Structure 1
Amino acid sequence: MALGFFLFSIVDTTAKFLTDTFHPLQIVWMRQLGLLAGVLVMMAAQGMTLLRTKAPGLQITRGVLAAASATLFIYAVAYVPLADAVAITFVAPFMVTVLGALLLKEQVGLRRWTAVTIGFLGALIIIRPGMGVLHPAAGLLVLAALFFALRQIASRVLGSADPTRTTVAYTAITASAVLTVPMLFVWQTPGNWQAFALIALLAILAGVAETMIIRALELAEAVVLAPIHYTLLIWGTTWGWLVFGQLPDIWTWIGAAIIIVSGLYTLHRERQAKRR
């Protein structure tokens, strides 16, 4: 899980770098190629049985949500410092808690509702709406987090219906298909070998990272692994400084600290609930 998130930090950094040359939709499409290639290899080995599903509509919806969240993130990261962008997306676990209560009728106690509220306040400290501190594209990151949370809710439902490999296959195929249509209008051919190398790096690392995280979730419970997600802030800050010369201000660190503490408390409560 930790190695998977480290690789994703490199993917995000590469994507931000490529936004100077390519349209965000093209970058997201290229990012999906690594996972799609892995799925095609699995299909060659296992045949069409890989696509047998009890919930085709939900599988396709999950793939669309994956494409939408990734697209919004890369659109936003072209204007927002990498560490700030990563910190804002940490509200996704809180959104999963809220959506789980609303859509799946999961029981959420007062303490967890309090942690969710505090976590959202941490996000507001980072964004500081109306103060002109961050680019308005920061709002897209909140929407990206919402789509990511909806994707996680879909994963919870699909977990009892289909094997993980089937969900991965549908996500890769659906997201690639949805993103292929806009390619007719935004495609730009890479002009040199460096661009090709960065695109190859983006696709390969994204596919490997996704596979590692899926494998980690097969080996251990999500509530045990989820805190490792917060290592993204360390890597986002490091790459943001090394590659783009950007460092978060003190308010971003304060907001991120509030989100992380609230998130860890929420995960602690989920773990206790599972033990009962």
Structure 2
Amino acid sequence: MPIPTATPITVKPLKPHGDSTRGIAYMAGGMFLFSAVDTQAKFLTDSLHPVQIVWSRQLGLFLGVLILIALRGVSVLHTRKPLLQIGRGVLAATSATLFIVAVSYVPLADAVAVSFVAPFIVTLMGALILREPVGIRRWVAVVIGFAGTLIVMRPGMGVLHPAVGLVLVAAAAFACRQVLSRALSGADPVQTTVAYTAIVGSALLTIPLPFVWQTPQMGLEMVLLVSIALMAAVAEVLVIKALEVAQAVVVAPVMYSLLIWGTFYGWIVFGDLPDLWTWVGALIIVATGVYTLNRERLAAKRT
């Protein structure tokens, strides 16, 4: 997936430890809300097109940005890194769309487990694109983490729908988006990043919208679409704030709470529970992911 790299990506350093408590709280709240959004989106895929659902998800953020611009003026859109801002908006729309398409076919908890390859993709991106040093231990963790993903997916065994492959692509887009979030945190204020994410994502999703639009027929559908829009907007801001006030290696492990909420919502709403091998694979992914993040934290301390 192309990332704007015309100039080197530089990140303004945070305080030595940042505000870890606040960052963890922001990230935890964001993951809780994103899980609720994904659950409602999966429910709606029975009657509405995924693109329409993701567009509705972006709508709340977009309307909030219009209000922000009306109050503070177009200076909100001033950015030092326009290509990175546009790229983040494209990645946000892409990852959300692919994930919702995938969960229309596969259980929510299984999709969440596979999406946890994102931290390993960040490691690969750091080594191959940003030329960051990666030691043998972290490479081993990456290999083991991908092995855990294969256990969850069990390709060729017909255990999961082929659409789970879309989750891998969505995870790659999400990983790229997280890298851009950190790159932008020292260059632009949070409201600018939110504004570009909302505007670019909404514009991109509006293009195919007339071809897939279905007027909601039930009051419940309208309520869920509004709920998705509001929750996703708040969750987006919380994640950006988490990466702004605390080190990524501190708050990133909180992302794994998605598995807890995804399993809980999947069981309560859809009656889905992961099988034994999915749990085994998910635990391997989580363990190696936390190990990788811990190695990054130790490396950051040494520097």
Q: What TM-score, normalized to structure 2?
A: 0.88
- In structure 2, stretches of 5+ residues that fail to align are 1-26
1:224 maps to 2:250: yes
- In structure 1, stretches of 5+ residues that fail to align are none
Aligned residue for 1:73?
Answer: 99
- TM superposition shift of 1:61: 1.6
Q: Return 202-211 or 80-89, whichever deviates more.
A: 202-211
1:142 maps to 2:142: no
Aligned residue for 1:251?
Answer: 277
Q: Return 239-248 or 214-223, whichever deviates more.
A: 214-223
The one-letter code of the counterpart of 1:93 is: P
Aligned residue for 2:268?
Answer: 242
Tell me how many residue pairs correspond in the alignment.
276
The one-letter code of the counterpart of 2:85 is: Q
**Within 5 Å, which residues of 2 pair with 1:1-276?**
1-276=27-302
Q: Secondary structure at the match of 1:83?
A: helix
Identity over aligned residues, as a percent? 64
- Tell me how far apart the structure 1 counterparts of residues 111 and 231 of structure 2 sit (CA, whole Å): 20
The one-letter code of the counterpart of 1:114 is: V
- Tell me how far apart the structure 2 counterparts of residues 198 and 5 of structure 1 sit (CA, whole Å): 18
- Tell me how far apart the structure 2 counterparts of residues 210 and 151 of structure 1 sit (CA, whole Å): 12
Q: Identify, as 1 or 2, the structure richer in helix.
A: 1
1:210-238 CA-to-partner distances (Å, cap 9, x unmatched) read 12222223332221111111111111111
Q: Return 219-228 or 160-169, whichever deviates more.
A: 160-169
- TM superposition shift of 1:156: 3.2
1:68-97 CA-to-partner distances (Å, cap 9, x unmatched) read 111100000000100000000000010011
- TM superposition shift of 1:58: 2.2
- Tell me how far apart the structure 2 counterparts of residues 211 and 147 of structure 1 sit (CA, whole Å): 18
The one-letter code of the counterpart of 1:46 is: R
The one-letter code of the counterpart of 2:245 is: L
- Tell me how far apart the structure 1 counterparts of residues 250 and 117 of structure 2 sit (CA, whole Å): 18
- Tell me how far apart the structure 2 counterparts of residues 37 and 103 of structure 1 sit (CA, whole Å): 35
Q: What TM-score, normalized to structure 1?
A: 0.97
- Tell me how far apart the structure 2 counterparts of residues 40 and 261 of structure 1 sit (CA, whole Å): 42
Question: What is the aligned-residue RMSD (CA, Å)?
Answer: 1.1
Q: Secondary structure at the match of 2:208?
A: helix
- TM superposition shift of 1:150: 1.6
The one-letter code of the counterpart of 1:134 is: L
